[in-house]
Structure 1
């Protein structure tokens, strides 16, 4: 193993002079350095895994023309969301793992840190990681896609040096079912936000959300279909929404999905929110609200692409979109599939870290009086 702290471009050129197949993982790329590499290497034997986030190109941290240059010269280019690795693999002989992106700064002028590895087992494992990332990415970039993105960027308006929200066309490891819709149902009110120390079990007990989510009489959830996915979020203080649970929706039916007298007696708040969206197969993070995924983090990551309504506004030409405002006085919100892909692994991470609320606790809670399987 050899350590390289700065200007390891000469070592990079030395390695590619002995290389038939070059594989690179780098979130950011620049045409300038790609042209230099092309002088010394046949791009028909180059594969690059990078990011396809248009915001990166708009802010000039990465270079869309660099991707075009690579594709035109027959390199295979793939995109993965949330990519942060920087890896350079030379055949099955050696690899460099580094802090350096595929830019002039990364390879020449910046203070970077990287190691050259030659151990066969390590190289094999790194190569397998590359193939895993490539399988997540799926299809490689085409010139037609490049032209579409270039067109989107050409229409972009920058106000006061602020880069507007732009889509990320990279792929994600989580393959959600795109036949389903994904929603976040809100629990609590602005006047009774829960502290971050509030236990998820307390909220399940209070809301009895293991079998149904409550709605006011004027907000019947007719938009939600059988099998759609419902994430459950408690309104918290500081102002946010902690996503503590997930379940499968059962389509709302008038005459069936309303709290009975006994159910109102069990939880008096149901007199104000008597309408049910019934759910099945619920899963809850067994911790506090602080252990859950925050909806504000979804918005920070995806901006207008967080919700179907805000994405439609963007498509219709709006550019000053505040996704948080779309949540005001709403019982629930529909996520985009991109947001569901972002949210799901983080929700699973919470379950893995804290564990799931066990069935013994769920079974100890009141049940619905209505057996939906037998209801006519």
Structure 2
């Protein structure tokens, strides 16, 4: 049994402990670098099960503080990874006998360049049990925020786009998007008071929850299964004869639940060019003026060229502050991909449930609109650059 300080040679100690690990490795680190992860993976047996908790903040990837290629490398190694917001803890558990906790991240700076200080704890049963308990509870609390290959690929596209936009437009403002579990400091995730996975942000979270509770978010579908929108064309806003921009609804599907101020994500039903499968794409965002039973199209609206379809979709909601992607429909956010990332946290009706992905993909069928969570709305905004 021993507790020692590591004030230098973090890299040497980590390589040695990685090499000696036989069964499991559990890691909590806010930042990772590709070189450090590659070097450490070369020194660990392929039979070792690895689990990771880390941050997933866009600005970290843009600035280079953390690295998506490192996550991609870990994903190829079948490492189970979960994302947590406001993460600051650094904890490394080698089997159930050795623990390292301190200031060092899994980066070149953390292991080689910076002045870091960590505790190396060996065969201290009581402490190691507490560390294992801490990690396992934090990992399970974040189980709806798995970092998958699809999630990494989508984020890489966004980061590359943001970097290019900053170069083109000379933008220096930071991107505030962060994705991950929001673990309350009040949660019982540790048996000790010496480690805190997130700093207290209770007031900020409550304010965010209050704001989100006042706004409802919807996907509004355009088209039908037999009348798909061409994925290789841009999405056109629907207007009445007087020029008012609207979203239409069928005779049997009055949108009475959509209130003034609700957010509608414009989602044409289209198809995937790769396999010709039916795929809704989110291409726009608008603010609703709310449902009014008197909002019914007139003959003047229907008799225009190309608007005969309004006879079947006579009810409408006026919308404003419309934002659309500039590209074709197929460049929008694929609903199927979003469901594979956010899973049961995407729809309000499935949050807290455990539906399979095939069942989630059926939730929107035969619907003109469906409610989504604030988390899903935030993710869509970040992905498509909506305000």
Provide the TM-score with structure 1 as the length reference: 0.51
Contact 1:243 1:294 (C-alpha < 8 Å) held by counterparts: yes
Equivalent positions of 1:291-306 (< 5 A) are 291-306=331-346
The offset of 1:50, in angstroms, is 3.5
Contact 2:56 2:179 (C-alpha < 8 Å) held by counterparts: no
Q: Which residue of 2 aligns with 1:348?
A: 385
CA distance in 1 between counterparts of 2:254 and 2:384 reads 27
Contact 2:240 2:301 (C-alpha < 8 Å) held by counterparts: no
Q: Which residue of 1 aligns with 2:185?
A: 142
Q: 1:139 to 1:327 in 2, by over 3 A?
A: closer
CA distance in 2 between counterparts of 1:136 and 1:298 reads 14
CA distance in 1 between counterparts of 2:317 and 2:300 reads 18
Q: Which residue of 2 aligns with 1:263?
A: 301
* Cα-to-partner distance string for 1:84-143 (whole Å, 9 max, x where unaligned): x9646559x6399xxxxxxxxxxxxxxxxxxxxxxxxxxxxxxxxxx9889988987637
Q: Which residue of 2 aligns with 1:363?
A: none
Q: 2:11 aligns with which of 9, 12, 17?
A: 9
Report SS of the residue matched to 1:310. Answer: coil
Q: 1:145 to 1:194 in 2, by over 3 A?
A: farther
Equivalent positions of 1:239-254 (< 5 A) are 239-254=278-293
Contact 2:239 2:245 (C-alpha < 8 Å) held by counterparts: no
Report SS of the residue matched to 1:227. Answer: strand
Q: Which residue of 1 aligns with 2:218?
A: 183
Contact 1:68 1:143 (C-alpha < 8 Å) held by counterparts: no
Report SS of the residue matched to 2:232. Answer: coil
Q: Which residue of 1 aligns with 2:61?
A: none
Does residue 328 of structure 1 match 2:330?
A: no
The offset of 1:204, in angstroms, is 2.5
Contact 1:88 1:95 (C-alpha < 8 Å) held by counterparts: no
Q: 1:61 aligns with which of 65, 80, 102?
A: 80
CA distance in 2 between counterparts of 1:219 and 1:133 reads 38
Contact 2:30 2:89 (C-alpha < 8 Å) held by counterparts: no
Q: 1:221 aligns with which of 243, 255, 264?
A: 255
Report SS of the residue matched to 1:308. Answer: coil
Q: 1:272 to 1:253 in 2, by over 3 A?
A: same
Q: Which residue of 2 aligns with 1:204?
A: 237
* Cα-to-partner distance string for 1:270-305 (whole Å, 9 max, x where unaligned): 111000111111111122112211111210111111
CA distance in 1 between counterparts of 2:335 and 2:233 reads 17
The offset of 1:332, in angstroms, is 0.8
What's the C-alpha RMSD, in Å, of the aligned pairs?
Answer: 5.1
* Cα-to-partner distance string for 1:43-75 (whole Å, 9 max, x where unaligned): xxxxx95369xxx9xx972599xx99959x9x7
Runs of 4+ in 1 over 4 A off after TM superposition: 67-71, 88-91, 131-141, 205-210, 317-321
CA distance in 2 between counterparts of 1:243 and 1:221 reads 19
Q: Which residue of 2 aligns with 1:94?
A: 114
Contact 2:177 2:382 (C-alpha < 8 Å) held by counterparts: no
The offset of 1:195, in angstroms, is 3.0
Point out where structure 2 has 5 or more consecutive residues left out of the alignment: 1-8, 16-28, 34-39, 41-52, 58-74, 93-98, 117-173, 191-203, 273-277
Q: Which residue of 2 aligns with 1:50?
A: 55
Q: 1:289 aligns with which of 329, 332, 354?
A: 329
Count of aligned pairs between the two proteins: 240
CA distance in 1 between counterparts of 2:254 and 2:378 reads 27
